[in-house]
Structures are given as C-alpha cells and as structure tokens.
Structure 1
Amino acid sequence: MPLRCSLLLGFVLGMAVIVLAQPPSIYEVLSANGLPMGLIPRGVTDYTLDDYGRFEVHLGQACNAKFEDEIHFDMNVSGVLRYGQMEEVDGIAAQDLFLWFPVKGIRVDVPSSGLVYFDVGVVSKEFSFSSFDTPRECTAIVHPEHILPIRVPDHHDDAPLLLLDS
C-alpha cells in the first residue's frame, strides 16, 4: 500500500510540475527581448520559437489593428527575433495613405528614445513605442481581396512588394 501511495503522489507532483512549467507567452518573449508586447495583436492561437530566434505566430484570422496607422497581420506572422528587433518579417504590412507596405523588419533603436521603426524596404516608418505597450484588438478582414500586391520599380534587384488598397 505505501508503494502505491508513493507512486500516486509522485505522479500527481510530476503533473503539477508540468502544469506549472508553462512556456512564456509570445508577449512575454517580446518583452524579454526589449520589444513592446503590442507588436503582435490579441488573438494568438500559438507560436513557435527556435534556438536561433526564428519564430512563427499563428493568429485565429488575418486582421487589421489600428495604431498610429493601420497595420495588417496575416494569419501567420514569422521572422527572426533578436534583442531589440525582428528581422526577416513576413506577414505584416503597414498602411500609409492608401498604400500597404510589407514590413521587412522592426527595431527599437534605444528603448529610452520612445521610438519603434518599421522597415518597409524603401523607407522606415517611425512609431511611438507607447503605441505598442499592450496588444491591440485585431479586426478580421471581411474582404481580403481589397489588398492587391503590385511591384514597384526600385534601385535594387529585388523590388519591394507594395500592397495597394483599392
């Protein structure tokens, strides 16, 4: 009988350790890497992060969030996470006037500067760090076909992809 109790107690304690050892949320990962938690909107269903900083975030649906400008998030957002920056970003676009610019990278120059920079290939868009303090609600795209990809001539071999809001 004491052996059964010991085994049962060991099993219960083992399960408690597994439950308590939950991985951090993507928002905690961003914060630990010097980035504001609100760079990824609410609605994350899961995410992966490997030892090299490659990440993929899965949202329940493609959506737009309003910050200083409108930001579009695909259902899957990926990139490489480094301290103070996201590189090789895929799945995020920033709107300026009526054009959608795919975001290639995001960086916080110096956290005390209060600025976040979105690299959209041709230029950088500057946002207030405080705009991304908390994850925003993200509105589902009712008609995703309103975002039409077009190529814009550039001085580089790989012309940046612009998205035109029709």
Structure 2
Amino acid sequence: MSKVRPMNCSILLVVIFLSSLTVYDNPPLLVSAASHGASSAYEILQSYDFPVGLLPKGATGYDLDEQTGKFNANFNKSCSFSLEGSYQLKYNSKVSGYISKDKLSRLTGVSVKVFFIWLNILEVTRNGDDLQFSVGIASADFPVDNFDLIPQCGCGLNCDGETRKILRSPFVSSI
C-alpha cells in the first residue's frame, strides 16, 4: 500500500467532508439561514466551530435540520481548484452531510485527487487547533488556520497572484 502524502490527505479530507452526508429516516425540520439567525452556510460552519474555508466561495444557500444535524450547502454549479499547484479538489453543486460541534460526518459532494485517483472526503473532525480529514482508510491533520480563507472555484487560494501555503501535517495516520 502506498503512503499518502500529508498535503494530499488535507485535500482528500476536505473532499470527504463534503461528500459523506447521509439522510435520516425521520422527516427533517429544515431551517433556512434567516430562521437560524445566520445569513450563510459559512456562518453555520462557524457556529459549529469550523472555519469558513471548508467550503468554496459561492454557496447560494443551505438547509439545516437542527434535530439531526443534516446539512446541505448549495452552489450554482460544480467547482474544482488546486491548492499549492498539486492538490485538486472537486465540489459538487450540492454538498451534504451531518454537522455537530467539531464534527462533520457522512459527507457527500467533495472529493480530493490523491496521486491519480479521486477519493471522497467522508469526515472532518476538529480537535483543538487541528482539523482531521478522513477518506475512510487514511486521515491527516492540518492546522485550523489553513482554512481561514475561502477558496474560489478555478483558482483556489491563488486568485490575486498571491499564493498562500497550506501548512502540512507532520504525519498521515491510517484508520
């Protein structure tokens, strides 16, 4: 089994986060931005202790079932971009999952290209100042402040000619 590089894991984890959300059997009590007191999907992320940079710029709306934590973020179209010129991320027009304090689980709609294959990011967990991204068989930790800026479709974090380096995790652990 080949090792996954830490930077590749961060992208992979973001993708898993966005692509592993599942639907519960109970009918959801959906909350819109206005009724939740938040005006955007990014503010919902922050209310659960996550940084805004987990989603790319352009979320057009969201739904949140406060009883189950089921979360959907909507975009006008699918989106892809590279980070540091090597990690590619893909977001579908709908990103879903379950959100609770410090945990995003069962994500769908986000994937990361690791070497030559696309992997779904399934879960993102916050542990203090680190985010752990899981693609099922592997996970990687990255500093939360790597995700303070919102990436843009097409250009990621290098839209103004300035490149922001993502700090790498010192290790990749397998699950």
Q: TM-score range by the shorter chain?
A: 0.5 to 0.7
**Does 1:54 find its partner at 2:70?**
yes
Paired residues for 1:16-31 under 5 Å: 23-31=38-46
Q: Which residue of 1 aligns with 2:170?
A: none
- Which protein has greater RCO, CA pairs closer than 8 Å, 6+ apart? 2
63-72 or 95-104, larger mean C-alpha shift: 63-72
Unmatched segments (≥5 aa) in structure 2:
1-33, 156-175
| CA deviation after TM superposition for structure 1 residue 24, in Å | 2.7
From 70, 73, 81, the counterpart of 1:65: 81
Matches of 1:119 and 1:73 in 2, distance apart? Answer: 16
- 1:56-96 CA-partner distances (Å, limit 9, x unpaired): 11111111133453221111100000111111100111222
Q: Which residue of 1 aligns with 2:121?
A: 103
Matches of 1:70 and 1:84 in 2, distance apart? Answer: 25
- Report the residue type matching 2:154 in the other structure: T
Unmatched segments (≥5 aa) in structure 1:
1-18, 141-166
Matches of 1:22 and 1:35 in 2, distance apart? Answer: 17
Matches of 1:35 and 1:26 in 2, distance apart? Answer: 11
Partner of 1:61, secondary structure, is coil
Contact 2:38–2:44 (CA under 8 A) maintained in structure 1:
no
Matches of 1:99 and 1:126 in 2, distance apart? Answer: 20
Q: Which residue of 2 aligns with 1:138?
A: 153
What is the alpha-carbon root mean square deviation over aligned residues? Answer: 2.1
Structure 1 length-normalised TM:
0.64
Structure exhibiting the larger radius of gyration computed from Cα positions: 1
Partner of 2:146, secondary structure, is helix
Contact 1:41–1:65 (CA under 8 A) maintained in structure 2:
no
Richer in helix (by share): 1
Q: Which residue of 2 aligns with 1:7?
A: none
| CA deviation after TM superposition for structure 1 residue 22, in Å | 6.2
Q: Which residue of 2 aligns with 1:76?
A: 94
Matches of 2:73 and 2:116 in 1, distance apart? Answer: 27
From 33, 37, 54, the counterpart of 2:48: 33
Q: Identity of paired residues, percent?
A: 26
Matches of 1:70 and 1:105 in 2, distance apart? Answer: 18
